[in-house]
Structure formats: structure tokens, C-alpha cells
Amino acid sequence: MIKLLTIIGARPQIIKAAALSRAVKDKFNNEIKEIIVHTGQHYDENMSQVFFDELQIPTPDYNLNTGSGSHGKQTASMISGIEEILLKEKPNAIVLYGDTNSTLAGAIAASKIQVPVIHIEAGLRSFNKSMPEEINRIMCDHVSTLLFSPTKAGYDNLVKEGFEENTLPPYSFNNPKIYHCGDIMYDNSLYFSSIAEQKTSVLKEYALQTGKFVLATIHRNNNTDDPIRLNALFNVLNTIATENKIKIILPLHPRTAKLLPVNLSPELYNKIKSNEYILIIPPVSFLEIIALEKNASLVITDSGGVQKEAFFFQKPCIILRSETEWIELINCGAARITDADEVKIKEAYTHFITVKDLYFPALFGDGKAAEFICGEILKYVH
Ligand code: UD1
Ligand code: UDP
């Protein structure tokens, strides 16, 4: 039996962890013991607890209750809490997801005391270091022992950064092993897709008809914190909704909800609030967002996870960023990068509601990435 210490903290990590915990429970229960540490980076009920309840993730063994703060304060507090738990629990390895401050904290705490790091979602790059996430993921990858990339592009990025292919065991941070293994988020979307509409009432609640609404999410710090960008984004959403008489539903991240009244012009803020086609709602559960993604005509987002889920459910996606780590979505024409440019966003909207033959190749594995990852961990972590 090996002991893995899993770090979660932000919403997408809680969701990602569900895939591995499910694989452990179903297939590796006698071989892997998972200790879950919640850093408390996200703490609102609808940003954290709702996912434990809905996705049957085991209750965390520890919660550091870190909460919000500046990058330095938040990360430092997590490092110190995680280090203490690592010293006490002595796991065989630490499992880290994605690119948040919780990921970085886990990578620093574990690597400094030589606990092997397993990075899931390794290799993804935006090539834009002004994103805090880009710094987090680069730093985490470079102290990892097993690096699981969901895409070929991610794997190739690691090779370009000097990671050797075909290294031989025993693996360590000085001799890491890299994989292209499919996406655990695809595992989750497949697994929960069939029950999403039955178990939720979000479509009925907001009177949404299949194919007759747009799903939008906005939370990226450069969009929320910059008044010019935030005004541009909400102005164009307002225009698209009004001109096309189409509902746009926006489950709003708390970061954005707090900044709307501060950063939008009072005039636009009032327009948005009184537009009957714009539905601003609190963050929804994973099953609810799947129901929305499956039934929307199109998705507009700056989220990493949501742009990919749009693709899983064969929906076109407008990406409100200047670049994406999920470059294959752009290359096959299923998504467009528009940044916060109102003209480009409107053009992309017109393009996607007109074009009928979008191509959604199978790029993210077979829905069994978590099982594969557990098998490899068992081979090489002792
Ligand atoms: C974090 C991640 C980002 C990820 C996102 C997922 C970092 C650097 N960023 O961004 O990569 O895409 O999570 O959602 O780790 N807040 C609440 N309640 C909560 C959580 C946050 O009100 O439960 C508010 C607070 O005002 C906080 C702000 O949201 O200051 C930002 O939260 P934080 O965790 O720092 O970053 P995110 O923007 O959520
Ligand atoms: N998500 C959710 N409810 C919401 C918005 C997003 O469950 O109201 C899910 C979404 O389906 C995806 C994950 O949260 O699986 C993405 O998280 P987020 O957009 O916060 O972060 P990112 O992926 O950009 O890091």
C-alpha cells in the first residue's frame, strides 16, 4: 500500500481530484491510500463544498483554511501548512493538479523536503508569464518526478524545456518521467454527463431551451481587475444578447461578482442589471454547468476548464484571452481567441452561429486517464 497526499484548493482542482479519487476507490483501493488536503483557497459553499457533495469526493483529511490574500501571503501560508502535514504523514508522493497557488505551494513544500511530486496537467503553457498560473505551472513541472500531460502539445512543451523522453526508473526530480496520457477532466465530463440534466433543474429554473442560450464565464484576473477590459467584455455581451435576443447566462465567480460594481461604468452596470437577456447567477455546481454546457448554443469564457468542456460537448467557444494552453481547440477551428476585443468577439459570435460543420476530433484520451495515472504511480512510486 502506498500513501499519496493530494492537494486541492481551487474549484477546478476539487473537480479534477474527483476523477483520481474515483479511480482509487473503484480499482486501487487495496493499493493506494489517499490523504486529501484542502488548502482552503476557495471556501464559499458554491466554490468548494458543493463539489464534495455532488461528485462524491472523500471529505478532506485536513483543511488549512488559508482563504484569500495576496499571492505571497496566500502561497506562504499554504507552504507552511502543507510542510507540516507532509512531515507528519510521510506520504510516498504528493499529487498536485493544474496551476493555482495551491499547486505551487504543494510543489515548493514537497520538493524542499524531497517528497516526490506527481503533477497532473503538466506541460501546459500559455507562453505568457504575466499570468500567475504560467509561473505556477512552470515551477511545479520543474520539481516534479512524474509529469502527466493531458495533450500532445503539453508533452512536446516539456520536451522543448529539456525534459528527456524515455528516461529509465528509478524516477526522481533529477530523473523525471513524462507522459501524454489524456485528460482527467474528460474522464469527469464523460462520467457525469449522462446524469447532469436528470439531477439538476438549472435549465428549467432559468427557462433555458436547448440551443437557445449562450453560457458565459469570466474570472481571469486580467479581465476582472482591468476596468477597460471588464467594460469591453460586458458591453459586448450586452450587445450580443440584445441584438440577437438571445439569453446569456453567466454563473459568476465571486472575484468577478465583487468587481462588477467597482469596475463597470455605472451606466453599463445598470444596463447589464436591467437587460432581460442577461442572467447573472451565482456559481453553479459541476452537474449544473455540464447541463448548461451540453444545452448551450455556444460558450464564451476565459476559463481553462470551461473552454475544454465546451469542446467535449461539441460546442463552439469564444475564448476571452490573448492565448490558450489548449491550442488544439483553436487549431481544429472549434474555438477562437478574441481577447477582450469587442469587434473580434462579435465576429466570432457571427461566425459560430452561422457555420454548421465544426470539427471536434478526439483529442483528450479515452475517459480513463485517471486509471492510467494510478497504474503508473503504482509502478514507480515506492
Ligand atoms: C484561482 C486560480 C486560477 C483559477 C481559479 C479557478 C491562482 C493564482 N489562481 O483564481 O488559476 O482559474 O482559481 O476558479 O491560484 N473568492 C471568494 N470566495 C471564494 C474564493 C475566492 O469570494 O471561495 C474571491 C476573493 O475575493 C478572492 C478572489 O475571489 O480574493 C480571488 O480568489 P483566488 O483564489 O485568489 O483566485 P481566483 O481568481 O479564484
Ligand atoms: N465550474 C463549475 N461551476 C461554475 C463555473 C465553473 O462547476 O459556475 C467548473 C467548470 O465546469 C470547470 C471548472 O469549474 O470544470 C473550471 O473552473 P474555473 O473556470 O474556475 O477555473 P479554470 O479552469 O480557468 O482554472
CATH architecture assignment, domain 2-183+365-380? 3-Layer(aba) Sandwich (3.40)
pLDDT digits (tens, 9 = 90+) for 148-183: 999 999 999 999 999 999 999 999 999 999 999 999
Domain ranges in the chain with CATH number 3.40.50.2000: 2-183+365-380, 198-354
R_g of the chain, CA atoms, integer Å: 20
Which grid cell is 323? 492565448
CATH topology of domain 198-354: Rossmann fold (3.40.50)
Average pLDDT, the chain: 97
Contact (CB, 8 A) for 114 and 94: no
Give, in order, the Cα–Cα distances in Å from 45 to each of 49, 278, 279.
Answer: 5, 24, 21
| Res 260 pLDDT > 90 | yes
- For 150-269, strand residue ranges (E) read 177-180, 213-217, 247-251
Which positions are catalytic? 219
Which grid cell is 332? 481544429
**Mean pLDDT value across residues 226-254:** 98
pLDDT digits (tens, 9 = 90+) for 279-318: 999 999 999 999 999 999 999 999 999 999 999 999 999 9
- Rounded to an integer, what distance in angstroms lies between the CA atom of residue 350 and that of residue 345? 9
Residue with the smallest CA separation from ligand 1 atom 29 is: 255
Indicate the DSSP class of residue 62.
Answer: E
- Rounded to an integer, what distance in angstroms lies between the CA atom of residue 97 and that of residue 121? 6
| Nearest CA-CA partner of 285 in 201, 194, 176 | 201
- Rounded to an integer, what distance in angstroms lies between the CA atom of residue 263 and that of residue 165? 47
* Paired strand residues for 299: 215, 317
> What is the number of the ligand closest to the CA of 50?
2
pLDDT digits (tens, 9 = 90+) for 41-55: 999 999 999 999 999
pLDDT digits (tens, 9 = 90+) for 342-354: 999 999 999 999 9
**pLDDT for 195:** 93
| Res 356 pLDDT > 90 | no
Q: Which atom of ligand 1 is nearest to the CA of 219?
A: 38
Contact (CB, 8 A) for 145 and 118: yes
Q: pTM here?
A: 0.98
Residue with the smallest CA separation from ligand 2 atom 23 is: 305
**pLDDT for 158:** 98
Q: Is 217 in the pocket of ligand 2 (CB under 6 A)?
A: yes
**pLDDT for 364:** 97
**Mean pLDDT value across residues 221-248:** 98
Pocket of ligand 1 (CB under 6 A): 10-12, 41-44, 47, 68, 99-101, 132-133, 219, 221, 253-255, 258
pLDDT digits (tens, 9 = 90+) for 1-24: 999 999 999 999 999 999 999 999
pLDDT digits (tens, 9 = 90+) for 115-139: 999 999 999 999 999 999 999 999 9
